[in-house]
Structure 1
Amino acid sequence: FDRRNYSMKIFILIICFFSLSLSGNTVYKGDKGFMITEFEDGLLDTFDFIVKGHIKDAGNGFPSLLVEFTDSIIRECGIAAGMSGSPSYINGELYGALSSTWAFIKKPMGNITPIEEMYKLRKIEGSSRQFSKNKLYINFRPPDFSAFTDSLLKEFQIDIVSANTSNKTYPLTPGHLIGISLIQGDMNAAVMGTITERRGNEIFAFGHPAFGLGSVSLPMVSGKTITTVSSNFISFKLPEMGNIVGTVKKDGYCGIYGILDEKPDTLPLEISVNNAKFNYILANSPDLTPFLFLMCIYHSSYKAFLQDKLGGFKANINIKSDSFTINFHAYYTRREAPHNIIYDMYDIVSYLNYNSDNKIHINNIKLSLSTINDDPFRTINKVSVVPIKTYNKSEFIIDINLKKYRGDNANIKLSVKPRRLKPGNYKLKILGRGDYISLLKNSGKLKYENIEDYINILNSAPKDNYLYIIITADKRMPIISDKSYPYMSIKDKSILKKTTPKYVNTIVYHDSVKANFVPIGIGQSTFEILEEK
């Protein structure tokens, strides 16, 4: 092991990555400047810095300026989250926006994004999907909410911080707070930064991407710094979120760009839990809305103490867009709330946003949750068929054993007459709607490659509960590219050379019976049809 060569490689790597340059610029090492930002009580303060050098490209695709702060307050507190975008001046002129720093550093150093780069935000179109470590300021934070949101929002590199809200509009000049409102109403959430420059009704801020979504229409919200919290890790501003003041139009690689007094695209959401009603206004974005929807479900169910009771609840979700309406019904256990409903609802909203050839604009969502004192769920524990061997056109008696959570088992009997069954061995399955839909999809009987099919499946969910009866033959059929070939009859044998088919048992009979409970799981049994004598 050559320690000298190893150290040299590390040295070369660092030099290539940061590539400090002090020539070819009008700003030089040792030049002095100052930053303007809110530090406490919404008041603007100035903080001095000295230039350490230029970074040609720190991995973000544009040059930035490395500075060290000399002001005693910043040296004690450090650069705080929320200062991103703070206008920085050198030689009396705006150079750019404070945009980044590092954790645990002993000297308060940071990078400044040139304002010339931020002006380019007006013209960007595509999504960069670059994330900066942001704080999500929120006025709701029970003990287990952080664990839930940490897993939910880790893709966006967001930390949750408690904050206050008001119905005020705060100053909209360089150095003051500005942010992107994600949720407003009975719960409020926003990412906050600082205004770098205002040109008429144009706002340039942050100096780094919020979510890197490119062209957007997100609510722009004013704010005020209550105080700045000092931390050995990274300090942060504690803000008060104010009114919506315009629209963020661009979320790009070097900041955000917004227009004041322009109405943003938002999504009204109403959630009712029995007699309690909660109203929210969500940022309407395919990348963000599904996550925000889940946060609101968590908030409303927590506030209504939905998860603290036994029994069950019925959910009805109504989604309206310009081209369709969804009205979906489902049952859930309260002992697992709100997580059981959260992920079902997420699947629906995210599918509408991500799996359509045409962009879908959702106008509003209403979710109604009504509790049921008795537990309506029954697990299908065991299924038997009598007789096991019989002739075609005979009647079958199906004995179903049901298991109740913290209750006694119960038995029910069903009578079916499946006609036109050829002699052979068969399998009977008894199941609920969710498993029934999955079985039909896996067998090729049901397809929803396009959004219209998916919407039809949701709207076909009955208000009442049903037991579904499925009979499958022993013979298996292949599924290739979601197309089924009954009884192994594939005429074009070249298909088998291109792909490996999935084989499933052929469904020969299916029916449903209304039930006064919610069936869970799958019960199955086998029987045989004999040759007619």
Structure 2
Amino acid sequence: MKQKILNVSFLVVFFGVFSSFVFPGKPFLFSAETIMNVDEIVPGMKGYGKTVFTGDRIEIFNVEVLGILRNWEAKSNMILIRMSGGPLEKSGIIAGMSGSPVYISNRLIGAVAYGWSFAKEPIAGVTPINEMKNTLLNLPLHEKGMLPVSAEWDIPSFSQQSLVTPSTATSSIPQEFTDYDAAKITLTPILSPLVVSGIESDVLQRMKPLFHTYGWYPAQGGSYDLYPDKPVKSRLVPGASVAAILIRGDLSAAVVGTVTYVDGDNVLAFGHPFLQTGNADLPMASAYVYTVLSSQSNSVKMASPVDIIGRIHQDRRSGIAGILGASSRMIPCHIEVEGSQKLTYDFEIVDNKLLTPSLILMAAQSAVLSTERKVGEKSVQIQLSARIEGCENPVVIENVFYELDQSWFSLNHIVQPFTMIINNQFREVHPTRIDLKIRVLDSRKTAYIESVRVDKKQVKPGDTLQVDVCLKPFTGEKFYQTVLMHIPEDTLPGSMLNLTVCDATYGQALNLGRSAGKYFPVNFEQLVHYVENMERNNNLMVRILLTKKGITYKGEGFPSLPASVLSIMSFSNYSGVGPLFDEVVSRIPMEYVLNGNQTIPLSVK
């Protein structure tokens, strides 16, 4: 298609191109940039926008106003425009254009921020600049000091079928087309490229549904620092590419958009929310665009972050706000994978309740996949250690797993408890360091609990009971593991006892059924204790359940209550009250991941 000639005046072109080159020694002041209010804009007006299509050069594209969508969301207007020029004729709206400033008569009207799914033309919605300034710069003092909004977070679930079924070839049809519904053509924020490097493509594919919920378009890229002919440090000016850094180091991830407005050290960008957490703390960097990849599904800027030059501190409905020269807090992380080879990864990750767990999961999955085979039986030992601000000892979560395929399931089960810690309801949690050690064995180390026998079925208080557990390893000979169990002195004569030998899954179910209150923490210390003491898959558990006189209340046992209090509490109409059980439990670490359970009844003489 023949490129259209830009229909702007010579002065507009001159000053637009001139603003593309900013000299490091002479910072540009954009606080004097004039603004046009929504009420002054009418359909048919023509202007121009600024963005980067290649490199760090800001280019101009044409804009025609189609109308004003007033109150399209609560107390929010949108300017509807048609764009043309540059690659837009072929590409349509490009992921990464979010925040591109739009001007009419050299006056800023707002940021390109929204588009329609399945649109054939580059028709976009512009967030008015006054709304961006009011919600990002002119905040009331009490809002500026608010803590970030705590949001529920869940790691992406992987079905058991996906764990045992080998991966199939991904369909070449974009997901947007397979989920197409003509009644759901909606106005949504323009996708923002999530540019990652050092991450395996299979991992990125599996994480894609999660990132799409944030409005991100995952794309593999590279580190711009690897290029020796790197130019001088660029500055953030309207139309320049900007990146929010999520991971940096041996692995990297950044979300790319466009700068809308600069006033001194204040920078506004994107024109739509990043995560809409309110207060934010993310490193802000300049970005370099390699090219625009045109696609029927989503055209995208292939880019990489360059230099961290500030901090994103606000993330609200109308965009993000950053401060040049400020710094952000990040969490040092270390991942060590030992298997057919030993590799380590050192990087920093953002401290964010929503993002930290999913990014740790992505990094760990990629580290394992790049080190070990994709398909085949394996045993996986994982230990996550997290140091938390204000806590003397690190939180340690560890377990052993057997898998048929990639280690999604095992890593999920380690990261999920960590997610519970940082998203707890009791106190703010800020990790200061995260260490993850993963050991992979290319063999199946599993055993089945085949049977159990005891040296006597009638016991007396104070007795020692010998329990012999028959274990059958996979492709191995069965053997017996002997466990000695002590019957408590205060066991009631004439009572019946149940001796259970089980694996971790069954044991965890017994824990919840017998002492449910103990597993619904009422403070942060209880939560940490619960997480650190989750049943391990290689532990052989032998358990004897004893009925005791007393009650439990919110996980705490009360065995010595007066009879009158016990009677009242037993019929209490308050939640958290339950019967009191005691249990003798022995846990024997084995070299196998165990499966199965067996039970024998015992009587007390």
Which deviates more, 195-204 or 65-74?
Answer: 65-74
Give 1:381's match in structure 2, choosing from 443, 446, 450: 450
**1:247-279 CA distances to partner (integer Å, 9 max, x unpaired)?**
100011011100112111111110011331101
Runs of 5+ consecutive residues of structure 1 not aligned to the other structure = 1-22
Change over 3 Å in CA distance of 1:500–1:92 after alignment to 2: closer
1:366 aligned to 2:435? Answer: yes
Contact 1:389 1:530 in 2 (8 A): yes
Deviation at 1:85, TM superposition (A): 0.5
Q: Which amino acid aligns with 2:224?
A: S
Matched residue, 1:80: 94
1:492 to 555, 568, 577: 568
- Which segment is superposed worse, 125-134 or 258-267? 125-134
- 1:63 Cα deviation (Å)? 1.1
Counterpart pick for 1:188 among 237, 252, 255: 252
Match of 2:184 in 1: none
Once structures 1 and 2 are overlaid, which stretch shifts more, 344-353 or 394-403?
394-403
Query: Is 1:36 aligned to 2:109, yes or no?
Result: no
Deviates more, 1:452-461 or 1:228-237: 452-461
Counterpart-to-counterpart distance in 2, 1:83 and 1:60 = 24
Whether the 8 Å CA contact 2:383–2:397 is kept in 1: the answer is yes
Contact 1:423 1:528 (C-alpha < 8 Å) held by counterparts: no
- Write the distance in 1 (CA, Å) between the matches of 2:586 and 2:373: 31
Match of 1:528 in 2: 602
Q: Secondary structure at the match of 1:491?
A: helix
Q: Which moved more, 1:269-278 or 1:170-179?
A: 170-179
TM-score w.r.t. structure 2 length? Answer: 0.75
Identity %: 21
CA drift of 1:339 comes to: 1.7
- For residues 161-185 of structure 1, what are the alpha-carbon distances to aligned partners after superposition, in whole Å with 9 as ceiling and x for unaligned? 2223212644422111102111112
Q: Once the 2 structures are TM-superposed, how far is the Cα of residue 401 of structure 1 from its aligned partner?
A: 2.3
- Shift in CA distance, 286/87, structure 1 to aligned 2, threshold 3 Å: same
Is the alpha carbon distance of 1:284 and 1:35 closer, same or farther for their aligned partners in structure 2, counting shifts above 3 Å?
same
Q: Which residue of 2 aligns with 1:89?
A: 103
Aligned to 2:367: 300
Offset at 1:476?
A: 11
CA-to-partner distance for each residue in 1:373-424, whole Å, 9 max, x for gaps? 6655433333333433455555533231223234443332333341443323
Aligned counterparts of 2:389 and 2:48: Cα–Cα separation in 1: 51
Q: 1:267 maps to what in 2?
A: 331
Shift, 1:435, TM fit: 5.6
Residue number among 386, 390, 414 corresponding to 1:319 in the alignment: 386
Q: Answer whether contact 2:93 2:124 (CA < 8 A) is retained.
A: yes
The change in CA–CA distance for 1:450 and 1:155 in structure 2 (over 3 A counts) is: farther
Match of 1:452 in 2: 525
Map of 1:107 onto structure 2 = 121
| Alignment match, 1:160 | 218
Aligned to 1:150: 208
- Residue 487 of structure 1, CA deviation: 13
Q: Deviations over 1:428-465 (max 9, x none)?
A: 12245676566445433745332212334555689997
Total equivalences in the alignment: 507
Distance (Å, rounded) in 2 between the aligned partners of 1:311 and 1:106: 48
1:119 matched to 2:183: no
* Correspondence for 1:14: none
- Distance, in Å, in 1 between the alignment partners of 2:237 and 2:86 is 25
1:75-121 residue CA offsets vs partner (Å, 9 max, x unmatched): 33211111110111001111111111112223321111111111120
Please identify, of 160-169 and 259-268, the stretch whose mean Cα deviation from structure 2 is larger: 160-169
Partner amino acid for 2:500? K
Contact 2:293 2:300 in 1 (8 A): yes
* Cα distance in 2 between the residues matched to 1:467 and 1:106: 62
The structure-2 alpha-carbon separation of the partners of 1:98 and 1:154, relative to structure 1 and needing over 3 Å to count, comes to: closer
The answer to whether the 8 Å contact 2:460/2:487 transfers is no
Displacement after TM superposition at 1:68 (Å)? 1.2
RMSD between aligned residues: 3.4
**Matching of residues 155-304 of structure 1 within 5 Å:** 155-167=213-225, 169-274=233-338, 275-304=342-371
Matched, 1:47 2:74: no
Residue 424, structure 1, aligned to residue 495, structure 2: yes
CA distance, structure 2, for counterparts of residue 267 and residue 387 of structure 1: 56
| Greater mean alpha carbon deviation, residues 330-339 or residues 83-92 | 330-339
Which whole-Å CA distance do the structure 2 matches of 1:441 and 1:207 have between them? Answer: 47
What letter corresponds to residue 310 of structure 2 in structure 1? Answer: G
The reply to whether residue 135 of structure 1 matches residue 193 of structure 2 is yes
Residues 518 and 556 of structure 2 are in contact (CA less than 8 Å); yes or no, is this contact kept in structure 1? Answer: no
Deviation of 1:292 (Å): 0.8
CA distance in structure 2 between the partners assigned to 1:65 and 1:163 by the alignment: 33
2:467–2:482: 8 Å Cα contact kept in structure 1?
yes
Shift of 1:58: 2.2
Letter in 2 for 1:290: P
Identify the residue that residue 414 of structure 1 maps to in structure 2: 483
Taking a change above 3 Å as real, the CA distance of residues 481 and 390 of structure 1, as seen in their structure-2 partners, is closer
Distance 1:426 1:114, change over 3 A: same
3-state SS in 1 of match to 2:347? strand
Q: Distance in 1 between matches of 2:452 and 2:111?
A: 68
Q: 1:89 to 1:416 in 2, by over 3 A?
A: same
2:540 aligns to what? 467
Note if contact 1:218-1:264 (Cα within 8 Å) is conserved in structure 2: yes
Partner of 2:309, secondary structure, is: strand
Structure 2 portions without partners, runs of 5+: 1-36, 152-187
Q: What is the aligned partner in structure 2 of residue 400 from structure 1?
A: 469
CA distance in 2, matches of 1:73, 1:296: 34
2:418 pairs with 1:349: yes
